[in-house]
Structure 1
Amino acid sequence: MTVVHEAGRYETASADGVAIIVAPQESYGPTDRAQVAQFVQRGGTLIVASEDDRTNQFLSEIGVNARIDGALMRDEQNNYRNASLPVATEVSEHRYTEAVEGVTLNYGSAINTSVVPAQRGTEWQGQHLVNSSQFAYLDRNRNERLDDDEVLEARPVVTEESVGAGTVVVVSDASVFTNAMGERDGNRRLIENIVTDHDRVLLDYSHGPSLPPLMYALLVLRSSPFIQFFLSLTAIGGVVIWVWGPPSRRWLPARIRGRKTSPKHPGRLSKEELIEYLTTEHPEWEEKRLRRVTEAIIRRREQSADND
């Protein structure tokens, strides 16, 4: 799996791989469009996930006829928690939909395959992989209710069509590929089928939203053996310190720690060693105070021994 931050990576991408573009927010320039289109033309698989109809320009420019409607899909009967999270239950047989019983959208839309450019013929040459239930409708005015001019019917939410020697799959909701919605059984299975069907996966963020900091750090970590090695050493060092305690002054040279002998626990020092220890730890103390504290420690130690 490779994260792509510039479209130039498509030039060297394997035609046996799959590229996933999630919620493209910026327009692809002529050069970038050409690189993506060439990847598909020579046999690559491209997944475009978006509920925004502004993505249609990009789809048109790479030769895809399917169009994202852009209106919010709702389903009062088949949904997850509420009607704005419809569950598309009509699933066609396909390698990507194996064991997929339904795909859950999160404020998603539908895909329009009935409007096909005249220069490409009058019929759409593709396949509906997943359709909504027959109780779904497009809430164009977003008033959260079915109006007289809104129709209940099954609509495609995942489609596939051939472009050159390659394939383009359109998903009408970018959130299908997010962590939260990816936990839904059908969504997770759909993603797994797509990924495991290819040897290489490109995650294209070159024209989409920026990665969250933690996700970016994780991807950098996975792609850098040096950082992994460094963090492993750091973790091992942390375990050693946790088990054995932090480094003490007894690890330092005698000329640095100011005494020739390693300190022992005060409870095990003789009177002379205890005075030496306190002198090193508290050089500002006067001799009378050193001896007074030393005698107090010895008395307390002896009383403790008697109590035992």
Structure 2
Amino acid sequence: MALLWRNVSYPRALAVSLALVLAVVLLYGGLTSTTAFGAYNSAWDGASDLRDLADDQDSEAILAQNTTAYADHDPNETVSVVLSPDESYGQTDARRVESFIREGGTLVVAEDFGKESNALLADVGAQARFDGRLLRDEHNYDTAPTLPLADNLTNHPYTEGVDQLTLNRGTPIEPGNATVLATTTNYSYVDANLNGQLDESETMRQYPVATVEQLGAGEVVAVGDPSLFINAMLEREGNRQFARNLLAAHDTRLVDVSHLETLPPLVRAQFALQDSSLLQAGVGLSLVVLVAYLTNVTSLAGAIRRRLTPGSVDSPLDADALGDPFAAADRSSVERWIHERHPDWDPERVGRVTDSVINETAEGGTDD
């Protein structure tokens, strides 16, 4: 091992080290996301812990990049989570989601100030609506009034083992005919003008922040704060258990990112590869060709070095003419040797292999 490292030049070692660092950086960037509520965002505002929590429930979480995924699973055994979508679902996508719910599926929609979630609820026929204004509580909060505690919980399987929910800049829910799962205390109010204080036009009272309602054979759960499910907030009391209850009640768990985020490049490539047998065959064939090419070039370079190294049984060269056995080989001799054995190679390819052989010979490379 020590002899191996002695034969490696410092410039080459530095180049290899930089290449490894770059590869790690590109790999990390290709597998992670910085999108808020992103399933591959491991920062405080990401939802990677929610994806891991779904994986911990004896089955893998499935990322739905398209609403067609709803038809691929048994609705009666499936829950889908939608966190503050950025884009409208549109009629076609909304019909797919509605069909999923009415056939027995469970849809969890979490929102604070966006408009697309209310449009989705209306399109699927749900009654609950997100108020869209900031909820505060000056008396019963976590670290600030904008992190109010909801400790009035209805007895329900989704609230089993949950003492309270902790919101982070959440919004109330107008339940309509939905069953209220959790409400804030009597000290909470809607800060309509966002001035950070209770005004005469603002009233303190309990506000619903989580609801559930039947829709056909399925149900819709509305949560007035998508932040409840992000990495930082899942550590707050009650939030993780509430999320676990929603997921554990179903065998299949979809995380609907179809209208939320662009997946990291390598993750997107992985899903594309999984979905296309033709692409799998193409990648496999490319790898075989690449390995064959590298093997051929490596074998050829080794043969040339042996041919040109004084003292080798294959060498036609005089040792006195080359001097030091680790000195750079004569370029014209290398090119001539390659051309004699591969007359079909173009000059550019001959030049690349010649450069590789000369550089390795000059640095002391051997096949021993």
With the shorter chain as reference, the TM-score category is 0.5 to 0.7
Q: 1:219 to 1:51 in 2, by over 3 A?
A: same
Aligned residues: 243
Please, what TM-score do these two structures have when normalized by structure 2?
0.58
1:53/1:211 Cα in 2 relative to 1: closer, same or farther (>3 Å)? closer
Q: CA separation in 1, counterparts of 2:144 and 2:189?
A: 14
Taking the aligned partners of 2:88 and 2:208, their CA distance within structure 1 comes to: 25
SS in 2 for 1:179: coil
AA matched with 2:221: V
Q: CA distance change for structure 1 residues 60 and 170 in 2, over 3 Å: closer, same or farther?
A: same
Partner of 1:9: 69
Residues 27-70 of structure 1: per-residue CA shift (max 9 Å, x gap): 22222111111111011000011113623232122111111111
CA gap 1:144/1:19 in 2 versus in 1, 3 angstroms: same
Q: 1:93 to 1:277 in 2, by over 3 A?
A: farther
Distance 1:82 1:7, change over 3 A: same
In the other structure, the counterpart of 1:255 is 304
- Aligned match of 2:240: 188
Provide Cα deviations, 1:194-219, integer angstroms capped at 9, x if missing partner. Answer: 1121111111122x331463xx7468
> For residues 252-291 of structure 1, what are the structure 2 equivalents within 5 Å?
253=302, 255-256=304-305, 276-277=324-325, 279=327
Contact 1:17/1:198 (CA < 8 Å) preserved in 2?
A: yes
Cα distance in structure 2, aligned partners of 1:94 and 1:31? 33
TM (norm. structure 1) is 0.68
**Deviation digits for residues 107-145 of structure 1 (CA, Å, limit 9, x no counterpart):** 1100012xx4xxxxxxx2x32111112211100010000
Partner of residue 45 from structure 1, selected from 97, 106, 115: 106
- Greater strand proportion: 1
Say if 2:141 is the partner of 1:79.
Answer: yes
Q: Letter of the aligned partner of 2:194 in structure 1?
A: R
Which residue among 169, 181, 192 is the counterpart of 2:221? 169
C-alpha displacement of 1:162: 0.4
| CA shift for structure 1 position 277 | 5.0
Tell me, yes or no, if the aligned pair for 1:50 and 1:171 is still in contact at 8 Å. yes
| Cα 1:76/1:14, change in 2 over 3 Å | same
- CA–CA separation in structure 1 for the residues paired with 2:143 and 2:263: 26
Q: Whole-Å Cα distance in 2 between the matches of residues 220 and 175 of structure 1?
A: 28
Residues 127, 161 of structure 1: 8 Å contact kept = yes
| Residue matched to 1:110 | 172
What residue number does 2:260 align with?
A: 209
**What stretches of structure 1 move > 6 A for 4+ residues in a row?**
222-226
Q: Which has the higher contact order (CA 8 A, sep 6+)?
A: 1
Q: Take 1:187 and 1:163, find their aligned partners in 2: how far apart are those partners?
A: 25
Take 1:33 and 1:203, find their aligned partners in 2: how far apart are those partners?
Answer: 16
Aligned mate of 1:158, from 206, 210, 213: 210
Which residues in structure 2 correspond to 1:107-146 (within 5 Å)? 107-113=169-175, 116=176, 124=177, 126-146=178-198
Q: Any stretches of 5+ residues in structure 2 without a counterpart?
A: 1-60, 275-279, 285-297, 312-322, 332-368
Question: Which ranges in structure 1 are unaligned for 5 or more consecutive residues?
Answer: 117-123, 231-248, 263-274, 284-308
Aligned-partner Cα distance in 1 for 2:224–2:122: 15
Partner of 1:26: 87
Q: Assess if the C-alpha contact under 8 Å between 1:13 and 1:39 holds in 2.
A: no
Q: Distance in 2 between matches of 1:277 and 1:183?
A: 65
Decide which structure has the larger Cα Rg and report it: 1
Contact 1:112 1:156 (C-alpha < 8 Å) held by counterparts: yes
SS at match of 2:148: strand
> 1 CA distance for matches of 2:257 and 2:310?
61
Distance 1:198 1:255, change over 3 A: same
Q: Partner of 2:185: helix, strand, or coil?
A: coil
- Mapped contact 2:78–2:105 kept (Cα < 8 A): yes
Amino acid paired to 1:37 = E
- Kindly tell me: are residues 87 and 256 of structure 1, through their superposed partners in 2, closer, same or farther at Cα, counting changes over 3 Å? farther
Counterparts of 1:222 and 1:194 in 2: how far apart (Å)? 26
Identity %: 34
Give 1:223 deviation, angstroms: 9.5
SS of the aligned residue for 1:61 comes to helix
Alpha-carbon separation, structure 1, partners of 2:267 and 2:238: 26
CA RMSD of aligned residues (A): 3.3
Distance 2:254 2:130 in 1: 22
